[in-house]
Every structure is written in structure tokens, then in C-alpha cells.
Amino acid sequence: MTSRRRAGGGRARSLEGRVRAQQPVADHVAPTLEFADGTPYDHYVAAQALHGLQRPLTDVPEERAFLVTTQVMELYFGLIRSEWWLAQRLLDADEVVPATAVLGRSVRYFEALNASWAALSWLTPAQFNAFRDALGEASGFQSAMYRHLEFLLGNKSEPLTRPHRRSPKVYQELLEALGRPSLYDSVLALLARRGYEMPSPGDPAEEYVPKPLVEDAWVEVYAERGPGDELWALAETLTDVSERFSDWRYRHLMSVRRSMGAKPGSGGSSGLTWLERSLRRDVFPELWSARTRM
């Protein structure tokens, strides 16, 4: 099905290219201004639908910036998830170089995602408090797409799926993600296939905990390999992913600290304390602990 869809898309693009090539040269002096049914841009981007999704709950001007920034982050979460799924499939197929390239792309997406926090860096407690009560119990803690990223990184937790029980499709997708091997699980399975001693796989639904054998393997990768080697490049790119994810957590923490201090979170969490605890939990932990032994 995928190949047919791609093939069909290729034929459509080729046809459009021939049509453009056959148009008079004069047509290229100015953009096309008349269309039979809306604009091709809106058909593709759904710009009107996107702009219609901003529905502030108050007339406080600052709320729109908060809402738009949050929605932009959600779009990036979805993009990164799709890229990590692709990288995982490639790793499972021993396609290390393409998988590393995909993970490298996701690092760039994180740079843009992390930059989104700057759009809220001006938000003072007084400005946030002006519309915060209207949010009720809504909290970024409840983002299902962010939870998918956490699960892919090995930060598994069944209780954190429970806020979504009343949304059957979302809840089922999270339960499936909880029970599937993480991206890091796929990396460790790859190392095992390459001859590195690995611990026996555990329950994929359990949160990943550091293991000495995994640290030994990364120390060996760095000791025996170097730039130009695919496992070395994979290790460095995974470290980039971990670092950028930690950057996101830190920027989230500082944004909360700046706009609301240590108040409890609107979703019922301890707010700043919860974020500080999350920040201390390393992603791909042995890639960091191995550096002490190098």
C-alpha cells in the first residue's frame, strides 16, 4: 500500500511538472492569482483549519501566545515521534547509517522545539495569573504525544497513561506504546547482534534502569571505534538526542519557575518539584556514565 501511494504521488508530481513546463513563459513573470477552489497552499497546509484551532478561553492578550506556543510544541512532538518510529524500524533492520541520519534530523527538530520556549520568556506571574484560572485542570503533564516521546526514550510508567482513559483511542495507543520496546531497546538489541554482551531484555513496559553491561559496551564502542564508524556515530547522535531532550526539560522548568514560581501545577502535580525530579532522570543513561570511565 505504501509503495503504491508513493508511486501515485510521484506520477502526480510528474504530471504537475509537465503542466508547468508547458505553460507560457509569461506565466512565470507573476504568481498565479486565480484558483477554482481555494488555494493549493491552503489545501496542503490546511492553514485556515490551523488558525481556527486557536480558541482562547479569556480575552487576556497574553493567553494567545501561550496557546499558540503550546500547539506548536504539540506539532513538533508528533513530528519527532514519527521520526523515532522510523529510526527504530531502521535499527531493527540493521540499517544503522540511515537510522543515525533520522535521529540527527530529530536533533534539529528539538533545537526548534526548544527555541519555542523563548516565545514565553517574557510571561510574568501577573500575566500568567490573568488567564491561568481559566485553564482549570489542563496541564502539559497531560500531553499524550509528549508521553509517547517519554515512552520511546524508555521512561515508561503505566500510571501516566491513566489521565487518558476517557479518550479510548488515545489511551489504547499509549498502552500499546507502553508495551512496545523503546528506541533504546532497539539500540541495545543492535549492540547484542554486533557481538556486545547485553543483559537479557526485561519487560518493555517497565521503566528502563541503567545496567553495567550496557555501560561496558559503550565504553568498548568508544575505545575501539572512532569518527567514521557507524556505531560510534550512533552513540554520539543518541547523546545529542539525550542532551536536547534534557534542554527541553530544563527550559520547561525555567519557564514554569519564571511564570508561576513554586506554585502547585494546574494538573495536580507539585509543579516545580515534579519538573526538577524529571530533569534529574537521564535519557540513555549509560552513554553518560560511560564517559567517566573513558
List, for residues 107-160, the tens digit of each pLDDT value.
999 999 999 999 998 999 999 999 999 999 888 889 999 999 999 999 999 999
pLDDT greater at residue 153 or residue 256: 153
* Residue 29 within a domain: yes
Mean pLDDT of the chain: 89
**57 domain-assigned:** no
Angle at 62 between CA 41 and CA 111, to 5 degrees: 60
Same domain for 30 and 172: no
pLDDT at residue 22, rounded to an integer: 58
- 78 lies in the same domain as 171: yes
For 1, half-sphere exposure in the C-beta direction (CA atoms, 13 angstrom radius) is: 0
13 pLDDT more than 60: no
Radius of gyration of the chain (CA): 23
Within this chain, do residues 20 and 90 fall inside the same structural domain, yes or no?
Answer: no
Q: Is residue 58 part of a domain?
A: no
21 and 157 co-located in one domain: no
- Kindly list the distances between the CA atom of residue 222 and the CA atoms of 94, 145, 196, 209, 226, in Å, as whole numbers in the listed order: 19, 33, 13, 21, 7
Query: What is the predicted pLDDT for the residue at 25?
Result: 56
What pLDDT, on a 0 to 100 scale, did the predictor assign at position 6?
A: 42
DSSP designation for 207: P
What mean pLDDT do residues 180-185 have? Answer: 97
Note the helical H segments in the chain: 2-22, 40-45, 47-51, 61-92, 96-115, 125-132, 144-152, 168-179, 183-193, 212-224, 230-260, 272-279, 285-293
Answer yes or no: do 194 and 131 share one domain: yes
SS3 65: helix
Residue 52 within a domain: no
Q: What is the CA angle 108-71-87, rounded to 5?
A: 35
In this structure, the answer to whether residues 163 and 89 fall within a common structural domain is yes
CA distance 46 to 35: 16
**Does 56 fall in a domain?**
no
Which of 40-49, 134-143, 196-205, 264-273 shows the lowest per-residue confidence on average (mean pLDDT)? 264-273
213 falls within a domain: yes
CATH of the domain at 222: 1.20.58.480
pLDDT computed for residue 57 by the predictor: 95
Please check whether residues 186 and 92 belong to one and the same domain: yes
Q: Please indicate, yes or no, whether residues 131 and 35 belong to a single structural domain of this protein.
A: no
132 is in an annotated binding site: yes
Domain that holds residue 122: 63-293
Same domain, 110 and 134: yes
30, pLDDT greater than 60: yes
Contact 96, 112 (CB under 8 A): no
Cα–Cα separations (whole angstroms), residue 176 to 92, 102, 147, 179, 182: 18, 23, 12, 5, 11
pLDDT recorded at residue 268: 56
Q: Rounded CA gap, 283 and 183, in Å? A: 11
Alpha-carbon distance 187 to 200, whole Å?
14
* pLDDT at residue 18 is higher than 80: no
Q: Are residues 123 and 240 in the same domain?
A: yes
Q: Establish whether 225 is an annotated binding residue.
A: no
Check residues 106 and 4 and name the one with the higher pLDDT: 106
The total number of structural domains in the chain stands at 2
Contact 123, 259 (CB under 8 A): yes
For residues 262 and 239, give the distance between their C-alpha atoms in angstroms, rounded to a whole number.
30
Q: Are residues 120 and 7 in the same domain?
A: no
Task: Report the pLDDT averaged over residues 175-204.
Answer: 96
- Asked whether residue 69 falls in the same domain as residue 36, the answer is no
241 domain residue, yes or no: yes
In a domain, 55, yes or no: no
pLDDT at 148: 97
